[in-house]
């Protein structure tokens, strides 16, 4: 009998271990959905998204960028191409999501959002299911969905952050940018305290400055809001960033030995080596949450 009891116990244990492993596997694998956002405009979101995507691609990661800046989509300009189709064409059922993908350098692919994102709110559930299917299909062949959002704490920006698995808040050392980054973190957590936020200090003059200002902001968030923001890292203020925008070649490719390239590589390494936050159901679930959170009255930025 004792022998049978042991066998039963080890069978139950093996099953439990397997179930735990499966849950862990689900939580830790699969394509990540990461929004890149900021309180203040012009702090370097689009430059970071594009070059971080290339740094991840150089580390064998398959990356899709969703260019979701509702005011001025910039990723295509930084790469020097005109989008053929945007998410708008998918919403209008002219093409499949896959047809909107623009091929960037090193296997990078970009979905130009265009006005398609603002139109998500008016779709019926059949149309939304169609878009969800498109994202789910792409997810199977990707490791990352990086989302370049607009700046600010409008409901539409918050919708992206609240729908993603995780988000990077970008700031620079200017007091206004730091204050706006804090305001954004607070606004996100007022809606959902579970969102995993990471901080990137861009345009730093020295490592000391980045660490000091980064710690000050993360400490303040912890003390005042009771939650940790992960300090992901920093990117040097580097003239190659502006030069690469002018040349329409990302600095990660055009200036491989620059400080900015080194720093963005370091951010990619940290993203790959630190334990990621749990996935929240994949890309389909992300689109579903985005549509649910999307403001009914869209606050369009003046163009």
The Cα 123–Cα 155 span in angstroms is: 18
Residues 161, 163, 164: CA angle, nearest 5 degrees = 70
202 binds ligand ATP (CB under 6 A): yes
Shortest approach of ligand ATP to residue 119 CB, angstroms?
Answer: 21
61 binds ligand ATP (CB under 6 A): no
Contacts of 221 (CB under 8 A, 6+ apart): 182, 185, 186, 227, 228, 229
Each residue of 266-278: b (16+ CB within 10 Å) or e? Answer: ebbeebeeeebbe
Stretch that binds Mg ion, among 41-49, 80-88, 111-119, 164-172 (CB under 5 A): 41-49
* Among 241, 271, 291, 298, contact with ligand ATP (rule: CB under 6 A): 241
The Cα 267–Cα 230 span in angstroms is: 12
Shortest approach of ligand ATP to residue 76 CB, angstroms?
Answer: 13
The Cα 265–Cα 257 span in angstroms is: 11
* Among 58, 74, 187, 262, contact with Mg ion (rule: CB under 5 A): 74
Q: How many of the other CB atoms lie within 10 Å of CB of 37?
A: 27
Fill in the per-residue mask, 114 to 153: x = in contact with ligand ATP (CB under 6 A), - = not in contact.
Answer: -------------------------------------x--
237 binds ligand ATP (CB under 6 A): yes
* Among 46, 76, 149, 244, contact with Mg ion (rule: CB under 5 A): 46
Using the minimum distance from each CB to ligand ATP, give the nearer residue, 165 or 238: 238
Stretch that binds Mg ion, among 46-54, 127-135, 245-253, 260-268 (CB under 5 A): 46-54
Fill in the per-residue mask, 10 to 49: x = in contact with ligand ATP (CB under 6 A), - = not in contact.
Answer: ----------------------------x--xxxxxxx--
Which of 303, 286, 292, 300 shows the shortest CA–CA distance to 30? Answer: 286
Contacts of 143 (CB under 8 A, 6+ apart): 31, 32, 56, 61, 62, 63
| Cα–Cα distance list, 228 to 102, 179, 224, 278, 302 (Å) | 36, 17, 10, 16, 34
Contact residues for Mg ion, defined by CB under 5 A: 45-46, 74
Contact residues for ligand ATP, defined by CB under 6 A: 38, 41-47, 69, 74, 151, 202-203, 235, 237-238, 241-242, 245, 260
């Amino acid at each position: 009998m004792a022998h049978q009891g042991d066998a039963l116990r080890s069978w139950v244990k093996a099953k439990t271990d397997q179930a735990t492993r499966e849950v862990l596997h689900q939580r830790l694998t699969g394509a990540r959905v990461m929004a890149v956002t900021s309180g203040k405009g012009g702090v370097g979101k689009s430059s970071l998204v594009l070059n971080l995507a290339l740094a991840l691609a150089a580390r064998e990661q398959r990356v899709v960028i969703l260019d979701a800046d509702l005011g001025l989509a910039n990723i295509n300009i930084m790469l020097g191409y005109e989008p053929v189709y945007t998410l708008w064409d998918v919403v209008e059922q002219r093409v499949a999501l896959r047809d909107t993908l623009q091929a960037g350098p090193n296997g990078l692919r970009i979905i130009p959002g265009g006005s398609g994102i603002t139109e998500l709110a008016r779709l019926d559930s059949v149309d939304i299911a169609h878009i969800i299917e498109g994202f789910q299909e792409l997810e199977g062949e990707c490791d990352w969905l990086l989302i370049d959002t607009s700046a600010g704490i409008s409901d539409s920006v918050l919708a992206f952050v609240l729908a993603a698995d995780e988000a990077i808040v970008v700031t620079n050392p200017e007091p206004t940018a730091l204050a706006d980054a804090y305001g954004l973190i607070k606004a996100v957590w007022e809606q959902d305290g579970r969102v995993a936020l990471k901080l990137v200090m861009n345009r730093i003059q020295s490592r000391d400055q980045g660490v000091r200002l980064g710690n000050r902001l993360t400490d303040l968030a912890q003390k005042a809001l009771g939650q940790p923001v992960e300090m992901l890292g920093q990117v040097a203020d580097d003239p190659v960033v502006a030069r690469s925008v002018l040349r329409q070649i990302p600095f990660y490719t055009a200036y491989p030995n620059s400080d900015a390239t080194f720093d963005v590589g370091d951010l990619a390494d940290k993203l790959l080596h630190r334990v990621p936050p749990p996935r929240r159901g994949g890309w389909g679930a992300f689109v579903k949450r985005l549509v649910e959170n999307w403001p009914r009255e869209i606050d369009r930025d003046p163009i």
